[in-house]
Structure 1
């Protein structure tokens, strides 16, 4: 009887650890995507927006490891990469990148994360405080890749700044 209880306890702990590690890895992927999206280094060598075909290829090679093809297509259609590229490439630096996970919800088949992302842009000798609000869906069956990215156009600084 004690052996069964110990065995069941061990199974429950193991499953709990596996689920926790999986969520942690998905969360790390989301946070790596955020760092890459708002980093000055991401855009300093990227093709210009005038070369749209090459710009798309560059974005795909930079962000493809974090998001699915559907998420990439949606971000391109909504001009998210274009917006970040045009704003951040005007800056001389991006500093103090911080993000806070404000919500995590497990749903059937995916995990929903929400983040508040703050950073500072150095523009013409001035520092501009930026704050963006992002939401992500990471599907369980797609490993760690992000299936959906939403950035609030009403409250995010990237859409109001310039």
Structure 2
């Protein structure tokens, strides 16, 4: 397995939040953990880090929710007959991730890992709309994070 991560850093703002944005190396490690768990080979993903304004605009345009969110997933759909190993795009809102990590008493890096894995699973077709799907997706997230030495993010602290 080999993840190709197109890293886009578009966040401009608080220096502490900017410094906490993970490296391309970390993102690649997390993406590779998902690919390994799913038995997939080389796949490409774009991961873009934004501020709240861009996140809110995209969340409103594509989901009808007028607020910034932690991660948005945009799966790539190739035209019929075209084979590409392109999963799609993840848009990760740096201020939301930092705020959530603080509120939940988590390390910011571990929350980035969780949201990256969560978004990658969305790109692969997993969802959490109903309870059964949520259970499947969360169990995959927990297992992948555990393979990286990261505790279950759903445990109440």
Give the TM-score, by structure 2 length.
0.33
Comparing both structures, which one devotes a greater share of its residues to strand? Answer: 1
Larger radius of gyration between Structure 1 and Structure 2: 1
Give the TM-score, by structure 1 length.
0.33
